[in-house]
């Protein structure tokens, strides 16, 4: 009976621990958020071939090798792969961008705003 109680206690601890579990590195290709991890980890499917990211408020919230991009007073940011050595650190088709973060990061090129008047 005592062994059953231990098994139940361990199962309960496993269910309530590790809410933010990383499965793939930030910047990895993905199809679903579950591939990237649980909790704050998710797959940005608007990025070509998907892009594993995590929610953040500051760089310390991000795994090693990534940086918090776009965090502000009201909105949280997203962890993106850092590129300290330039675009060679990034996936094919991505750029090493600066701005809105404490260091350069890999992301897809910004989408053009369309800007025309249609005529």
Asked if the model's pLDDT at residue 82 lies above 70, the reply is: yes
CA–CA gap between residue 51 and residue 70 (Å, rounded): 16
Which residue matches tokens 């062994």? 3
Q: 68 or 12: which carries more pLDDT confidence? A: 68
| pLDDT tens-place string over residues 17-63 | 659 999 999 999 999 999 999 999 999 999 999 999 999 999 999 99
Which uninterrupted H or E stretch holds 27?
Answer: none
Statement: residue 10 has pLDDT above 70:
no
Cα–Cα dist 68/98, whole Å: 12
Average the pLDDT over 81-99 and give the result: 96
Q: Which pTM does this prediction carry?
A: 0.78
Domain ranges of the chain: 20-107
């Amino acid at each position: 009976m005592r062994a059953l109680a231990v098994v139940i206690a361990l199962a309960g601890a496993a269910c309530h621990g590790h809410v933010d579990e990383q499965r793939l590195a930030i910047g990895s290709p993905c199809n679903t958020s579950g591939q990237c991890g649980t909790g704050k980890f998710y797959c940005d499917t608007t990025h070509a071939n998907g892009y594993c990211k995590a929610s953040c408020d500051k760089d310390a919230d991000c795994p090693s090798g990534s940086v918090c991009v776009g965090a502000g007073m009201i909105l949280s940011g997203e962890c993106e792969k850092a590129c300290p050595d330039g675009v060679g650190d990034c996936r094919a088709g991505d750029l090493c961008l600066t701005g809105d973060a404490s260091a350069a990061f890999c992301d897809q090129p910004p989408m053009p705003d369309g800007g025309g008047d249609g005529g």
